[in-house]
Structure 1
Amino acid sequence: MLTTAFSRYINNFRGFTREIWILTIITFINRAGTMVLPFLTKYLNEDLKFSYSDVGTILVFFGSGSMIGSWVGGKLADKIGFYKVMVFSLMSTGLLLFIFPFITEFSTLCIAWFFVMIIADMFRPAMFVSLGAYAKPENRTRALTLVRLAVNLGFAAGPALGGLIIMNIGYAGLFWVDGGTCILAISIFWLLVKEKKKIKNEHVDAFEEPRKSVFKDRPFWVFLFVSFVTGMIFFQLFTTLPLYNNKQYGLTEFEIGLLMTLNGFLVFLLEMPIVSYFERNKVNKMKIVLLGSLCMALGFYALLINIWAGILVINILFLTFGEMFAFPFSNSFALSRAPRGHEGRYMALYTMTFSLAHIVSSKMGMQIIDIYGYQVNWLVMGTCGMVAVLCSIWVIKMVKKE
């Protein structure tokens, strides 16, 4: 029985091209090395002695650079090809990170993070386009899921290693390791993967007709709003929820970490089989995104019950299933929506929604908590999730009309 279950699980990982596995490996190396991000606010506040207000300002420059980088990366991926953009982005980011320990002045840091994030986040839309190029048409959603697994595993390993590096070398070590892993990852890619000049887009959806401009694609813009909302409410997991878990229920950092680990472990264990099941049964991608939005909404409504600590586990379960339904299929929907030769700009706008969601999530959540308290924040986030559900229904209807 166990052997059959294990064999079925392993079958979900079959059928990928060599290039997809290399992309997955370099994504894991890159994300495991992304140790600066989890400790950035701590570094700016405790090590460089900036006020919370100054830290917030630096993060706005950080997020703004990320959004511009996503757009520029997508445009360049269409114009000069994803391969060149990926190599330039990661190699340059790796080299630039080496100089960050020497930048300690406020205005210089704002400018430095802004420009580094423009270069760093050019990588993301180009990488999504590369998945469309190297994956077989029938495997595209699973290929995106495989790379998401690498991201989750990398993020699980990164902070733990980062903590050890801070204890032994100091914060400067984070920048050196992060820079080094960027260079290592892209060197492996450059040596082992050949540039694919033209994307063979054999897969043509019913709605994949030539369009004049992404800005005139109305269903796609409503879909982007859905992606923004689901991203914004999901990011509460890393901003307001850890504070609430400690303040309301007295959970320690270790116990909060265990809840985060439960999220990562379930994604690792279940996401690929879930995606494989939906792909085999050819379920409408937007219907699955709708289901994900509903799960996230219910996760936050559940927190309105604030007399039992077990509700935190229920919240994590809803958010995790919401993540597994919404994110892989929204990735795949965005890529399949793009006409040939326009994949880069479509994926740029898609990745920009998450950069914006990250900025808005922490600011909005903290502001609501500060003025009205945690319960109102959970009510607002749950209601935002229900708005995303309604907008998903709207997208499904518009696509059917096409």
Structure 2
Amino acid sequence: MWTGSLINHAGAFVVPFFAYYLTGRQGFGPAQVGLVATLYGAGGVASTVAAGAAADRFGRRPTLLVSQLAAAATTLAVGLADGFGSIAVLAFILGFTSYGAAPVLSALVADVVPEPDRKRAYALHYWAVNLGFAAAPVLAGLLAGHDYRWLFAGDALTTALCAVLIAWRVPEVRTANAGTAEPTSGAGLLHALRDRALLTLLPAVFAMVLVYTQYQVTQPLAMRAAGLSPAVYGLVSAVNGAVIVVFQPLVARLADRCDDARLLAAGALLLGAGMASTAFDHSAAAFAVSVAVWTLGEAIAMPTSNAVVSRLAPPGLQGRYQGLYAMTWALAAVAAPLAGGWTFSRFGAAPVWAGCLVLGALAAGGAVVLRNSPLRQPTSSPQAA
């Protein structure tokens, strides 16, 4: 799974250069690019819960293969399409198929890794994802220099390769379901939506992802307002990947010694404070320090929250729980650019950074509340829902 995720995300060539492709090759305007990006995100929101439920009902490997192979085919189709209408429709389908892998992979980690080791496993998986993301823009730039079509071909190939590798090497393990009837999708989701601990965790995750996503939206605007060039922005952004690459294995080892709720609270506070400190940044070095602080929060909080979800999930509902978790990420990823961009343009930077600090504090408060909730799965059958 680690190798498959590394290959898949190292080949995530389309997303970093999609806006360049749409404006340069297709001639789209800013409004059209924004709508295509929104449709891609909407497809992701729609797919996560469906993929999680399918993983519980039909198995991890079949769901992953269908999702990833469909994503590979759709990626090729987008690269061959011309015109706003066809690309807009395909962008929604691409989001739907691409996002579906996340809850399935998270459920697979829970299947094959014993519960005491899951925090470390999710941290190492997160490390693989970020290693891939760090390499993807560099490789994509080389391919785009020859022909944009190579971006779509390479992305499709690595997506398919990830699915085949995991299907070949990772067994289908759902021993928790033995001897229990398979819950219907509706009953399983109702059970999840009545889980107070999960309903405490998901808003905290939503708040953290809202803060985290500002690095793609308002932080570049702030750096531009400070007179820094795109090249400097690229170097500062590389600090995120460098910190993850260096410190994520260390965080993975330390996570086993710490309480989940305290890790979540610490990560949320570092995320909020690090992003809020951008308000005082005027030089590349200062922005780099802010990036390093919130990246540490990301490295602590994100894998921990994933592990907590896996622990909360009762037998037979791991995929659905992970689907709701992935949907929270997708919703925040859609909402963050809209909220951050609108606030920045209408009221300036200060309310954005103050909002990040408040959101980080609220997420930390949610983690404190979660500490008083049971973090193990309930013993009652989900069919009771």
Per the TM superposition, whether the score is higher than 0.5 is: yes
Match of 1:20 in 2: none
1:391 matched to 2:366: yes
Look up the match of 2:237: 260
Deviations 1:3-60 (A, max 9, x none): xxxxxxxxxxxxxxxxxxxx11111111011110111122222221222111111112
* Deviation by residue 1:260-307 (Cα, 9 ceiling, x = unmatched): 22221121111222231230x2x2212111111111221133223245
Structure 1: how far apart are the matches of 2:164 and 2:320?
Answer: 26
In structure 2, what is the equivalent of residue 104 of structure 1? 82
Q: Tell me the secondary structure at the aligned position of residue 289 of structure 1.
A: helix
- Corresponding residue number in structure 2 for 1:335: 310
2:288 alignment counterpart: 313
Contact 2:177 2:315 in 1 (8 A): no
* 2:159 counterpart of 1:182: yes
Alignment of 1:143-292 (within 5 A): 143-168=121-146, 170-199=147-176, 213-248=191-226, 250-279=227-256, 281=257, 283-292=258-267
Moved more, 233-242 or 326-335: 233-242
Cα deviation per residue 1:244-263 (whole Å; 9 max; x = unaligned)? 11221x22333222222222
Structure 2: which 5+ runs fail to align?
A: 179-187, 379-385
Residue 359 of structure 1 corresponds to 334
Task: Give the distance between the partners of 1:101 and 1:270, measured in 2 at CA.
Answer: 36
Q: In the alignment, what sits opposite 1:6?
A: none
State whether residues 132 and 199 of structure 1, in contact with CA within 8 Å, keep that contact through their aligned partners in structure 2: no
The corresponding residue for 1:7 is none
- CA-based RMSD of the aligned residues comes to 2.1
Q: Tell me the distance in 2 between the aligned counterparts of 1:199 and 1:39.
A: 42
C-alpha separation in 2, matches of 1:42 and 1:363: 20
Q: Is the 8 A contact 1:302 1:314 kept in 2?
A: no
TM, length-normalised to structure 2: 0.90
TM-score, length-scaled by structure 1: 0.86
User: Partners of 1:395 and 1:341 in 2: how far apart?
Assistant: 23
Deviations 1:214-239 (A, max 9, x none): 01112211210000110111111122
Instruction: Name the structure 1 match of 2:381.
Output: none
Shift of 1:158: 0.7
Is the Cα–Cα contact under 8 Å of residues 66 and 355 in structure 1 kept in the other structure?
Answer: yes
- Cα separation, partners in 2 of 1:211 and 1:240, compared to 1, 3 Å: closer
Counterparts in 2 of 1:217 and 1:193: CA distance versus 1, 3 Å: closer
State the one-letter code of the partner of 2:111: A
- Deviations 1:163-201 (CA, angstroms, capped at 9, x unpaired): 111111x22111111111112222222333333353589
Alignment partners' CA distance in 2, 1:263 and 1:120: 23
The aligned runs of 1:117-132 (5 Å cut-off) are 117-132=95-110
CA distance in 2, matches of 1:180, 1:308: 40
Name the CA distance, whole Å, in 2 between partners of 1:393 and 1:189.
36
Contact 1:234–1:296 under 8 Å retained in 2: yes
Query: SS where residue 372 of structure 2 aligns?
Result: helix
Contact 1:300 1:379 in 2 (8 A): no
CA distance in 2, matches of 1:154, 1:200: 33
Equivalent residue letter for 1:396: R
- Tell whether 2:11 aligns with 1:33: yes
Write the distance in 1 (CA, Å) between the matches of 2:276 and 2:224. 19
Taking the aligned partners of 1:32 and 1:199, their CA distance within structure 2 comes to 33
Which amino acid in the other structure matches residue 158 of structure 1? A
Query: Retained in 1: the 8 A contact 2:204–2:366?
Result: yes
Q: Is the 8 A contact 1:211 1:339 kept in 2?
A: no
Once the two structures are TM-superposed, the CA of residue 122 in structure 1 deviates from its matched residue by 1.7
User: Structure 2 vs 1, CA of residues 329 and 200 (structure 1 numbering), >3 Å: closer, same or farther?
Assistant: farther
1:142 equivalenced with 2:120 (yes/no) = yes
Question: Any idea what SS the aligned residue of 1:194 has?
Answer: coil
1:353-372 CA-partner distances (Å, limit 9, x unpaired): 11111111111111111111
- Aligned residue for 1:48, secondary structure, equals coil
Instruction: Return the offset for 1:316.
Output: 1.1
> How far does residue 395 in structure 1 lie from its aligned partner after superposition?
2.1
How far apart in 1 are the matches of 2:19 and 2:107?
31
CA contact (8 A) 2:111 2:174 kept: no
State whether residues 297 and 382 of structure 1, in contact with CA within 8 Å, keep that contact through their aligned partners in structure 2.
yes
Aligned residues of 1:78 and 1:343 also touching (Cα < 8 A)? yes
Counterpart Cα distance in 2 of 1:149 and 1:200: 30
Distance 1:345 1:307 in 2: 44
Deviations 1:292-325 (A, max 9, x none): 1111221133223245554313311221111011
Deviations 1:91-113 (A, max 9, x none): 22112222212222222222212
CA 1:393–1:191 in structure 2 vs 1: closer, same or farther (change >3 Å)? closer
Q: Which runs of 5+ in 1 are unaligned?
A: 1-22, 202-209
